[in-house]
């Protein structure tokens, strides 16, 4: 288990450095826009650090029914250490599994690898897929979050957006 620490403005430079390492420019806001989000009541930065500094962070929006992960990144020096999986598991534990995460469509090997990472978190935590069956893991299904939330106490959803439509895995 890891300790997800609430981060504040003093951590922003480290968060943004990891964000620049992890996301292409078109998948992140400009620095000023990202920093402005810290004024939003529902926006929160969570992180894991060691003596050397911030290892990884989650940028989340806390809503009444679920938590939406907008950005999730691990520093280059901490990648492949297991810290990312532990962070997701701890967030799911704290939020009773009501976590929503957006990913890209599985159009190339890197994107498929990312989706596989999130799928393994399901297997490790024993959470159910929102459609109730693992047969849909590799296909995108369109469904409403509300319907999923009514059927399961614990819900962990991977979604992607394409052509202004939301697709759930």
Q: What is the pLDDT of residues 111-149, one digit of tens each?
A: 788 878 877 776 665 443 443 333 333 333 333 333 333
Q: How many CB atoms lie within 10 A of CB 19?
A: 19
Q: d(Cα 59, Cα 7) in Å, to the nearest integer?
A: 10
Q: Where are the beta strands (DSSP E) in the chain?
A: 5-6, 43-50, 53-62, 67-74, 99-102, 156-162, 165-168
Q: Which residue from 105, 97, 98, 92 is spatially nearest to 142, judged by alpha carbons?
A: 105
Residue with tokens 């806001």: 29
Q: How many CB atoms lie within 10 A of CB 58?
A: 25
Q: Which residue from 101, 92, 86, 33 is spatially nearest to 56, judged by alpha carbons?
A: 86
Residue 21 has pLDDT above 90, yes or no: yes
pLDDT of residue 131: 39
Portion of the chain with pLDDT greater than 90, in percent: 39
When comparing pLDDT for 104 and 144, which is higher? 104
Residue 35 has pLDDT above 70, yes or no: yes
Residue with tokens 């935590």: 125
pLDDT of residue 137: 39
**Calculated CA dihedral for residues 154, 46, 53, 25, nearest 10 degrees:** 100
Handedness of CA 29, 57, 59, 87 (dihedral sign): positive
- Cut 0.75: pTM above it: no
Residues 6, 11, 12: CA angle, nearest 5 degrees = 110
pLDDT of residue 161: 47
Residue 99 has pLDDT above 70, yes or no: yes
Residues 79, 84, 85: CA angle, nearest 5 degrees = 125
């Amino acid at each position: 288990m890891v300790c997800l620490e609430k981060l504040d403005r003093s951590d922003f430079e480290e968060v943004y450095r990891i964000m620049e390492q992890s996301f292409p420019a078109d998948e992140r806001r400009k620095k000023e826009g990202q920093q402005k989000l810290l004024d939003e009541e529902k926006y929160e930065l969570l992180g894991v650090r060691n003596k050397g500094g911030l290892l990884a962070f989650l940028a989340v929006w806390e809503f009444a029914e679920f938590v939406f992960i907008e950005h999730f990144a691990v520093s280059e020096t901490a990648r492949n250490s297991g810290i990312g999986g532990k962070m997701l598991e701890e967030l799911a534990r704290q939020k009773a599994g009501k976590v929503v995460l957006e990913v890209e469509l599985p159009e190339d090997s890197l994107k498929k690898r990312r989706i596989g990472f999130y799928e393994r978190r399901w297997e490790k935590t024993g959470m159910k897929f929102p459609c109730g069956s693992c047969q849909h893991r590799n296909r995108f299904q369109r469904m409403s979050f509300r319907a999923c939330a009514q059927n399961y106490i614990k819900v962990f959803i991977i979604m992607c957006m394409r052509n202004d439509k939301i697709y759930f895995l």
